[in-house]
A = this chain, B = another copy of it.
Amino acid sequence: MPESSVTGLLHRSGSLLTARLAASATAVEGEVMSDDQFFAWLAGRQRAHVQNVRRVAFDELSGWDFDPGTGNLQHRSGRFYSVQGLQVRTGFGPAREWMQPIINQPEIGILGIAVREINGVLHCLMQAKAEPGNVNGVQLSPTVQATKSNYSRVHGGSAVPYLDCFRTGDSGRAKVLADVLQSEQGSWFYCKRNRNMVVEVGPEVEAAEDFCWLTIRQINSLLRHENLLNMDARTVLSCMPDWRVGAGAEDGGRGSLHSDVEIRSWITSRQSEHELTAVLLPLREVERTAGSGWKRTEEAISHERGLFFSIIGVDVSSSHREVAAWTQPLLEPLGGGIIALLVKRFGGVLHTLISAHVEPGYLDVVELGPTVQCTPENYAHLSAEDQPPFLDVVRDRRPEQTLFDTMLSEEGGRFYQAENRYLIIEADEDFPARTPEDFRWMTLRQLTELLKYSHYLNVQARTLVAALRTLQEVEDSDADHR
């Protein structure tokens, strides 16, 4: 079997990989940087990355124009992304038909974390990266976070560091641990998807100036810090093989309320049930259609009720980006989001209450989301029966029920100060096992299995899967049933 595209008949065993990841998730020795050293390094990166972000009127955007025909806000190169209109029709829910602006970015980017064994322990190469939409300048991002425009160098910046580590196929030698297309926010993006990759690299790969090596234990503890691990880092982490879950046999659903085929059947039934059509429109039609609620001023495209989000422009000057200064449009969400997962033990095994979530920008209408995912302000004008299910349970939680509670940011390259409160809440003893049709109890093993495939878990659920893996409670639960 001498051919280079053939890996050979022997594979590194999955259980060895699991053990190596588990060692990194529990490591107390062998770390390249102590936690204190990390925070000192991060503070240094914060000082080095002075990024000045100023809101500007649309006519101050350079290179970005409203197309005279369509009214779409787009870059003169035709690349990057554009803000277009979307017309949505559904057969369910409180709003059956609406128009909205939406970000269209048809390119598939790469979000990748390189891992390497150092001192016998796997470390992840993380990047200190400032984004104009971040509330706090620098956050921790994956090794590579690059759109195709980035890495084909449309904007004439410098090459993307470490991109070569993620080349697969004949041209590359990446040893891939995970590689899957996943969606992003379906209310804000039209059919956006990125390649989520984890690859193992050799000792020749070293950390450059803005990069650091961290164990999985360190990254897990950083996930509990406000606005520190960025969205891209969280989604890639969620796609990493789970170090606490053995090889996923089909009947490994022992201990789960529903078998794997029952879960897949439920997902299929939700996709079949929910009819939704979403059609791109000229943005001008959204602004000009009476009753759409959206209007454009010189500074923003906003909803007349002050709800949902606005499209704004920013001027950015940076000491450390590929390009030193630029302008761009961003989406500014209005109101703080609540993204919460209810968990409960059944037969000693931790289950999560997952919803079949519909967003117009999903490729196939439905993806799995957390128990609650909403901006409560957007529902304030609706009746009690149209409030999001289980939002009351989240609101009325007692302190001892809260297992995870952290403000985290969404992608700062597209969204302006988009912070959400991520919560994991343990449901009470008397919380029912029976669920409404759009909800199902699933184990972490079942979520991990679905994360190997595209477009099953939405980006908010993926952050909460990463958060779940940081909980001691889950470790205990899984240990019983491995």
Contacts and interface: CB of A to CB of B under 8 A. Distances in A.
A181 B247 contact: no
Contacts of A176: 261-262, 265
A9 B259 contact: no
Contacts of A11: 251, 253-254, 259
A264 B452 contact: yes
Contacts of A254: 9, 11
Contact of A264 (B7, B110, B169, B179): B179
B6 A434 contact: yes
Contacts of A269: 168-169, 179
A286 to B, nearest CB: 18
A68 interface: no
A251 B255 CA distance: 22
A7 B433 contact: no
Contacts of A253: 11
A261 B178 contact: yes
B9 A255 contact: yes
Interface in A406-458: 432-435, 437, 441, 452-456
Interface in A150-184: 168-170, 176-181
B251 A250 contact: no
A169 B266 contact: yes
A26 interface: no
Interface string A261-286: 11011101101100101000000000
Given A170-B437, A347-B9, A265 B179 contact: yes
A383 interface: no
Interface string A175-202: 0111111000000000001010100000
A5 interface: yes
Nearest to A191: B364
A364 B272 CA distance: 18
A179 B261 contact: yes
A176 B259 CA distance: 10
A256 to B, nearest CB: 8
Contacts of A177: 261
A195 B268 contact: yes
A194 B355 CA distance: 22
Contact of A257 (B9, B108, B250, B435): B9
A23 interface: no
A472 interface: no
B346 A9 contact: yes
A6 B257 contact: yes
Nearest to A365: B108
A228 B179 CA distance: 40
Nearest to A106: B277
A258 interface: yes
A248 interface: yes
A4 B434 contact: yes
A7 B178 contact: no
Contacts of A265: 168, 176, 179, 197
A250 B12 CA distance: 12
A11 B277 CA distance: 37
Nearest to A349: B9
A32 interface: no
List the 7 closest pairs (A to B, CB-CB), nearest first: A3-B434, A179-B265, A14-B251, A247-B249, A247-B250, A176-B265, A108-B272
14 contacts: A1-B257, A3-B433, A7-B257, A7-B258, A9-B255, A107-B275, A108-B272, A176-B262, A197-B268, A247-B250, A247-B251, A363-B364, A453-B453, A454-B455
Given A106-B277, A248-B248, 18 more contacts: A1-B257, A1-B433, A5-B434, A6-B257, A6-B258, A6-B433, A6-B434, A13-B251, A108-B271, A168-B266, A170-B437, A179-B264, A179-B265, A179-B269, A195-B272, A247-B252, A363-B363, A453-B456
